Chains A and B, each alone.
Chain A
Amino acid sequence: MKVMMRKADLITAIVLLLFSAFVIWESSGMDLYVEFAPGYGFLPFWLGILMAILSILLFVDAWRRPAARDEPAPFPSRQALINIVLILIGLGMYAFLMEIAGYILDTVLLVLLLLGVVEKEKWATTLIVAVVITAALYVIFQVLLGVNLPKGIFGF
């Protein structure tokens, strides 16, 4: 099934309208004015209003768009989508495990996932690249820039 740009725009407009409603609601609890001067809620409040107006404009624009001028929304193929989800899971796991597994193990694992699983590189090459990248960034950050990269529960 192809998702058309028109439908994508309509959904986006609704999501952004909800987002701006949230911004307006949050910022209306802040000081909009202090004496004669704008307070800290002034800018977010009006930005929220502007965002809401733009969302409605986007909705109307998409609604009235003739079918002839519509084009398929460039959504990813199944394979690309799987890869993107895998990359995101990898990044999430990376952040989650950083201070548990430690920088070295965590980084090697992420390269194995990204290069070996997502890019389907040969495992021998993947392993070499993983070691090289991990070592190179260790040298750049820990040795040259003096950042303390985390050691994990295994002590490295």
Chain B
Amino acid sequence: MDLFQNLALGFSVALSVQNVISCFIGVLLGTLIGVLPGIGPVTGVAVLIPITYGLDPTTALITMAGVYYGAMYGGSTTSILLNVPGESSSVMTCLDGYQMARKGRAGAALGMAALASFIAGTFAVIALTVIAKPLADFAVSFGPPEYFALTFLGLTLVTSLTGKSMIKGIMSGVFGLLVASIGIDAISGAARFTFGNVFLLDGAGFIGVAVGLFAVGEVLVNMEEPLQRVFLETKLSVRNLLPNAQDWKDSFGALWRGSLIGFVVGVLPGAGATIASFLSYATEKKTSKHPEKFGTGIIEGVAAPEGANNAATGGALVPLLTLGIPGSGTTAVMLGALLIHGMRPGPMLFETNPAFVWGFIASMYLGNIMLLVLNLPLIGMWVQLLRVPYKLLMPIIMIISAVGVYATDNNLFDVWVMFAFGVIGYAMRKLDFHPAPAVLGLVLGPMVERSLRQALTMSHGSLAIFFARPISAVLIIIALLSLFTPMVRAVWRRAGSPALTT
């Protein structure tokens, strides 16, 4: 069967010495980033772009993706031991995980978190393996109107699902699209917004912008929130890390439902690991025979969100690989990095570069096994790591960012771009503008513009073309609904009950 041939090809790529080492470094860094509160997978992936810049694109993506799904494993550790989520996707794990730790069952909670992550993560990779090629084949027939509709949908969904204010979300996306338009226009060759600066002819530079927004901006915000850490003293050995038979029985339903919910939510643009973990926790509570026990330290409450957030990362890679549309800040940064390497994810990539796609997919089977080893027998090491002074984190991230951005092109201009976007990223976070839509706009900008202009050229300037073709019509309508329903709801709510807080 084709599928097995593809996977065999994938493993032949993923099992090269270089790729195995990169995968390991990726998942190791991912776990580290997951364990450390205050630094998330986006920051990690952004900082890695300059470092992986000189590598082969397959190796670069394997490393960056390792950070992405690895962070989901690590995020649970601090949730359980400190009641501080390592990532936003581990917030739900705090509820029952920390209570379990207080009851002396930290080992079982940590063990179940790692095993649930492995099971759901592997499930998602299998689902990705099966679904990717058919979806890509389906998308091969897409023309400019469909592509415009897809990018438009991606942008609106991310906008409507992140941040408190819809207006600010859209503004963030528009800002990203505007930054993307800096430089030489690919169609006419004319320069835009370059202000006579030769460096801007190639655009603002994705690396500087992404590292600025997500590394510098994030670190500056963290300077204001000193982290309080209270440890629960726990004895950890591999034996008390393994959940017992009763735990498995209790978690069985949560595991498969969490995997499924996580994957489906992950595939949809906009909703990511965080929403998946909330949704699966809520589902378990609703379907449980004893909903009142949730929050008191039961194992299903750990298995469900930890499974879901891992499955979601696998799901999020489906639209990224098959359509070239990222559904979240992290996948957008990964797409930006791939474009720098000259790799354009999308349906054609499966035809033109199967070794890249399948090599990457195969690496995730490997990565999940590595993560299980890193997070189960070696969990004690990560717990020790939490005692490393937090003070070191800010200087290290700043320096790696600055040196990395400089080193990609030996160009100081990029460092200044990083500086400027660091300030912008900080201001955006302070003023409640989520940076994810901005980076999505930045990455998708050229694609949005090209498909829009090509489509309008086809139709001699008429917008009707987007509604005349069934696939693009459906996508555009979903996009418009996602944009306007929250607004309509907000207006309606304000008119109806002004006292209601949002």
Whether the pair A137, B400 counts as a contact (CB closer than 8 A) is yes
Is there a chain A Cβ closer than 8 Å to B452's Cβ?
yes
Q: How far is the CB of A92 from chain B (nearest CB, A)?
A: 6
**Chain A 9-46, CB within 8 Å of chain B: the 1/0 string?**
10010001000000100110011011011111111100
Q: Is the interface of B mostly helix, strand, loop or mixed?
A: helix
Q: How far is the CA of A66 from the CA of B502 in the complex (A)?
A: 13
Is there a chain B Cβ closer than 8 Å to A131's Cβ?
no
Q: How far is the CA of A43 from the CA of B192 in the complex (A)?
A: 11
Is there a chain B Cβ closer than 8 Å to A110's Cβ?
yes
Whether the pair B174, A30 counts as a contact (CB closer than 8 A) is no
State whether A141 and B410 are in contact (beta carbons under 8 Å apart), knowing that A31-B188, A42-B453, A95-B415 are contacts in the complex: no
Whether the pair A115, B181 counts as a contact (CB closer than 8 A) is no
In the complex, the chain B residue whose C-beta lies closest to that of A8 is B431
Q: A interface, how many residues as a size bin?
A: 35 or more
Chain B residue numbers with a CB within 8 Å of A76 are 223-224
Chain B residue numbers with a CB within 8 Å of A149 are 403, 407
Chain B residue numbers with a CB within 8 Å of A103 are 403
**Chain B 84-122, CB within 8 Å of chain A: the 1/0 string?**
000000000000000000000000000000000000000
Q: How far is the CA of A141 from the CA of B51 in the complex (A)?
A: 8
Which of the candidate stretches B31-39, B253-261, B416-424 sits at the interface with the other chain? B416-424
Chain A residue numbers with a CB within 8 Å of B452 are 38, 43
Q: How far is the CA of A49 from the CA of B50 in the complex (A)?
A: 35
**Chain A 93-122, CB within 8 Å of chain B: the 1/0 string?**
011001100010001001100110011010
Whether the pair A36, B187 counts as a contact (CB closer than 8 A) is no
Whether the pair A114, B453 counts as a contact (CB closer than 8 A) is no
Whether the pair A95, B419 counts as a contact (CB closer than 8 A) is yes
Whether the pair B175, A51 counts as a contact (CB closer than 8 A) is yes
When the two chains form the complex, which single residue of A36, A48, A66, A95 contacts B416, counting CB atoms closer than 8 Å?
Answer: A95
Within residues 243 to 295 of chain B, which ones have a CB less than 8 A from any CB in chain A? Answer: none
State whether A145 and B54 are in contact (beta carbons under 8 Å apart), knowing that A51-B178, A61-B167 are contacts in the complex: yes
Whether the pair A33, B461 counts as a contact (CB closer than 8 A) is yes
Within residues 371 to 414 of chain B, which ones have a CB less than 8 A from any CB in chain A? Answer: 389, 391-392, 394-396, 398-400, 402-404, 406-407, 410, 412
Whether the pair A47, B174 counts as a contact (CB closer than 8 A) is yes
Is there a chain B Cβ closer than 8 Å to A127's Cβ?
no
Whether the pair A40, B188 counts as a contact (CB closer than 8 A) is yes
In the complex, the chain B residue whose C-beta lies closest to that of A130 is B395
Q: How far is the CA of A119 from the CA of B188 in the complex (A)?
A: 50
Within residues 51 to 92 of chain A, which ones have a CB less than 8 A from any CB in chain B? Answer: 51, 54-55, 57-58, 61, 66, 69, 73-77, 80, 83-84, 87-88, 90-92
Q: B interface, how many residues as a size bin?
A: 35 or more
When the two chains form the complex, which single residue of B53, B399, B410, B498 contacts A110, counting CB atoms closer than 8 Å?
Answer: B399
Residue picked from B219, B399, B412, most chain A C-beta under 10 Å: B399
Is there a chain B Cβ closer than 8 Å to A143's Cβ?
no
Is there a chain B Cβ closer than 8 Å to A152's Cβ?
no
When the two chains form the complex, which single residue of A16, A73, A74, A107 contacts B399, counting CB atoms closer than 8 Å?
Answer: A107
Chain A residue numbers with a CB within 8 Å of B175 are 51
Is there a chain A Cβ closer than 8 Å to B364's Cβ?
no
In the complex, the chain A residue whose C-beta lies closest to that of B449 is A43
Chain A residue numbers with a CB within 8 Å of B410 are 147-148, 150
Residue picked from A61, A73, A114, A149, most chain B C-beta under 10 Å: A114
Is there a chain A Cβ closer than 8 Å to B456's Cβ?
yes
State whether A51 and B171 are in contact (beta carbons under 8 Å apart), knowing that A33-B461, A40-B192, A88-B423 are contacts in the complex: yes
Is there a chain B Cβ closer than 8 Å to A140's Cβ?
yes
Chain B residue numbers with a CB within 8 Å of A90 are 398
Chain B residue numbers with a CB within 8 Å of A33 are 461
Q: How far is the CB of A152 from chain B (nearest CB, A)?
A: 13
Q: How far is the CA of A12 from the CA of B395 in the complex (A)?
A: 30
Is there a chain B Cβ closer than 8 Å to A133's Cβ?
yes
Q: How far is the CB of A149 from chain B (nearest CB, A)?
A: 7
Q: How far is the CA of A22 from the CA of B402 in the complex (A)?
A: 30
When the two chains form the complex, which single residue of B167, B168, B396, B398 contacts A91, counting CB atoms closer than 8 Å?
Answer: B398
State whether A146 and B54 are in contact (beta carbons under 8 Å apart), knowing that A37-B453, A50-B174 are contacts in the complex: yes
Chain A residue numbers with a CB within 8 Å of B53 are 145
In the complex, the chain B residue whose C-beta lies closest to that of A114 is B395
Is there a chain A Cβ closer than 8 Å to B193's Cβ?
yes
Chain B residue numbers with a CB within 8 Å of A26 are 192-193
When the two chains form the complex, which single residue of B51, B404, B430 contacts A73, counting CB atoms closer than 8 Å?
Answer: B430
Chain B residue numbers with a CB within 8 Å of A92 are 419
With A47-B177, A121-B391, A146-B54 given, name 18 new contacts (CB 8 A): A16-B171, A31-B188, A31-B190, A36-B460, A38-B461, A50-B170, A58-B171, A69-B501, A73-B431, A76-B224, A91-B402, A95-B406, A114-B394, A115-B391, A115-B395, A129-B395, A137-B399, A147-B54
27 A-B pairs with C-beta separation under 8 A: A9-B431, A37-B460, A38-B457, A40-B188, A47-B178, A48-B178, A51-B175, A58-B168, A74-B224, A74-B430, A77-B224, A83-B223, A84-B224, A90-B398, A91-B216, A91-B422, A95-B412, A95-B415, A110-B402, A114-B394, A114-B395, A118-B395, A129-B392, A133-B395, A137-B403, A147-B54, A149-B403
Chain B positions near chain A (C-beta within 8 angstroms): 51, 53-54, 165, 167-168, 170-171, 174-175, 177-178, 181, 185, 187-188, 190, 192-193, 216, 219-220, 223-224, 389, 391-392, 394-396, 398-400, 402-404, 406-407, 410, 412, 415-416, 419, 422-423, 426, 430-432, 448-449, 452-453, 456-457, 460-461, 498, 501
